[in-house]
A and B are shown apart, each in its own frame.
Chain A
């Protein structure tokens, strides 16, 4: 069973057991506009909640993406190197940023479910 949670900074975390897929929300990609470059971390890097994990750049500006929870990168979306526009086209799907493994005790109490996030961005 998968469950998608959201951070206040507009990242999503799709939980799949003790791993997860992280990306930016559809709301976030709309706010950023045309995405022209995505800088992704190295596989194997561990992050604490709040660390900068990626940079997503539009024509206008560079936006830092923060780790929504403690995690270790297991895979990055290499397809974004060639086609960063996938984040605009399908932020919650093909435009994912990284896959991570989670510590069993990774704190997720600060993350919102979809209904709460929808209210947060309204």
Chain B
């Protein structure tokens, strides 16, 4: 499948990252830039202008069945999102569950636009570290009816920020045609790609899927616009945390159900009643009874970051929860975190105590996202 001669642990943009001064780290088996000029500068640039992120490490999968009905119906037995009502050129965030209702991965399913692909084709983007794992689950579940292809020959670029639409509009009409969570095929100065209006920063933005061989050329076209700067994994993490978005393997994993993770929106409304997906009995029961623990956002006073792994204690000092992600939020200039706490305590405004290096710090349960999400509800720039 890897036809383009790129070493398996490098993305098509590796040489460009190095030439731009990216500090390369190992992430999910990929050599990727954690930062270029600095995480805070890249974070703020994304909130105010536009940044380009290389997210080619994520798994791009094409699913093929005989027609849309067959493909969407089959996928719905594994994924609790409402897929059968997806319109052409629209996308859905959902989760892959195990029989106990635990989250095996979170992913985005796209129904191709009218005429973009055969009727039974759908696209799925999964987390880098879960590619092989997810593919094995899919292939085992649908031996006969569906075919899955993982595209190691493709790159994925994320252009994110309030000016992303204006930047991309210089090269494509996609910003004028797509609203948040919509996708279409496009040709940018002869480069064939798929553009979707989505991302994981809380800002308006686009993800561009294209052949590895075209990736550097397209990235350079975007960098030719002086409003665009490169951004690395560090800013991606602080941006998604401010936006209240979960990171797989940290804020959710195969032991945590989507109700506890506050991801009920990943389960279609009717499907919360009808079930009919792997893990449904357990998940529907948790919806009915309420989860034991719940993911919440925490805002701390002072400056000391409260990071993943820190324990949350009650007044007696008993451990009652844990921090799953935490950092010093560049936009808020305050420490923020996500944590799991007992549901009865998961009330906005409640104070909880976390332990950092033996010191008690008090955090307030705060509505997420921590910053306003700037998604394009309608096409346009």
Complex CA gap A62/B357 in Å reads: 11
- Given the contacts A55-B357, A59-B330, A37 and B304 also touching, CB distance less than 8 Å: yes
- Among the stretches B33-41, B152-160, B194-202, the one at the interface with A is B33-41
Among B129-182, those with CB < 8 Å from A are none
Contacts across chains A and B counted by CB atoms under 8 Å: 43
Is A95 located at the chain interface by the 8 A CB criterion?
Answer: no
Q: Which residue of B lies closest to A34 (CB)?
A: B40
Complex CA gap A61/B307 in Å reads: 8
- Grouping DSSP codes into helix (H, G, I), strand (E, B) and loop, the B interface class, with mixed when no group exceeds half, is mixed
Q: Is B39 a contact partner of A37 (Cβ separation < 8 A)?
A: no
Candidates A39, A59, A81; contact of B327 at CB < 8 Å: A59
For residue A53, give the distance in angstroms from its CB to the closest CB of chain B. Answer: 13
- Given the contacts A59-B234, A60-B34, A36 and B303 also touching, CB distance less than 8 Å: yes
Is B305 located at the chain interface by the 8 A CB criterion?
Answer: yes
Q: How large is the interface on A (under 10, 10 to 19, 20 to 34, 35 or more residues)?
A: 10 to 19
Q: Is A33 a contact partner of B305 (Cβ separation < 8 A)?
A: no
Is A58 located at the chain interface by the 8 A CB criterion?
Answer: yes
Q: Which residue of A lies closest to B35 (CB)?
A: A33
Is B340 located at the chain interface by the 8 A CB criterion?
Answer: no
User: What 0/1 readout, one digit per residue, does chain A (32-54) give for beta carbons within 8 Å of chain B?
Assistant: 01101101000000000000000
Complex CA gap A93/B105 in Å reads: 48
Q: Is A57 a contact partner of B305 (Cβ separation < 8 A)?
A: yes
Q: Which residue of B lies closest to A81 (CB)?
A: B303
The residues of A that contact B305 with a CB separation of less than 8 Å are 36-37, 57, 59, 62
In the complex, besides A33-B35, A59-B39, 14 extra interface pairs with C-beta distance below 8 angstroms are A33-B39, A34-B40, A34-B41, A36-B40, A36-B305, A37-B304, A37-B328, A55-B357, A58-B39, A59-B238, A59-B305, A59-B327, A59-B330, A81-B303
Q: Is B357 a contact partner of A39 (Cβ separation < 8 A)?
A: yes
Complex CA gap A39/B305 in Å reads: 11
Complex CA gap A36/B357 in Å reads: 17
For residue A19, give the distance in angstroms from its CB to the closest CB of chain B. Answer: 27
The residues of B that contact A57 with a CB separation of less than 8 Å are 304-305, 328
Q: How large is the interface on B (under 10, 10 to 19, 20 to 34, 35 or more residues)?
A: 10 to 19
Q: Which residue of A lies closest to B357 (CB)?
A: A55
The residues of A that contact B237 with a CB separation of less than 8 Å are 60
The residues of B that contact A33 with a CB separation of less than 8 Å are 35, 38-39, 234
For residue A95, give the distance in angstroms from its CB to the closest CB of chain B. Answer: 15
The residues of A that contact B41 with a CB separation of less than 8 Å are 34
Complex CA gap A33/B327 in Å reads: 14
Q: Which of B34, B39, B41, B303 has most A Cβ within 10 Å?
A: B303
- Given the contacts A33-B39, A34-B38, A34-B40, A59 and B357 also touching, CB distance less than 8 Å: no
The residues of B that contact A23 with a CB separation of less than 8 Å are none
Is A84 located at the chain interface by the 8 A CB criterion?
Answer: yes
Q: Which residue of B lies closest to A58 (CB)?
A: B39
The residues of A that contact B303 with a CB separation of less than 8 Å are 36-37, 81, 84
Q: Which residue of A lies closest to B237 (CB)?
A: A60
Q: Which of A33, A34, A61 has most B Cβ within 10 Å?
A: A34
The residues of B that contact A37 with a CB separation of less than 8 Å are 303-305, 328
Among A48-79, those with CB < 8 Å from B are 55, 57-62
The residues of A that contact B35 with a CB separation of less than 8 Å are 33
15 cross-chain CB contacts under 8 A: A34-B41, A34-B330, A36-B40, A36-B303, A36-B328, A39-B304, A57-B305, A57-B328, A58-B39, A59-B39, A59-B327, A60-B34, A61-B307, A62-B305, A81-B303
Complex CA gap A53/B229 in Å reads: 37
User: What 0/1 readout, one digit per residue, does chain B (275-318) give for beta carbons within 8 Å of chain A?
Assistant: 00000000000000000000000000001110100000000000
Among B1-59, those with CB < 8 Å from A are 34-35, 38-41, 43
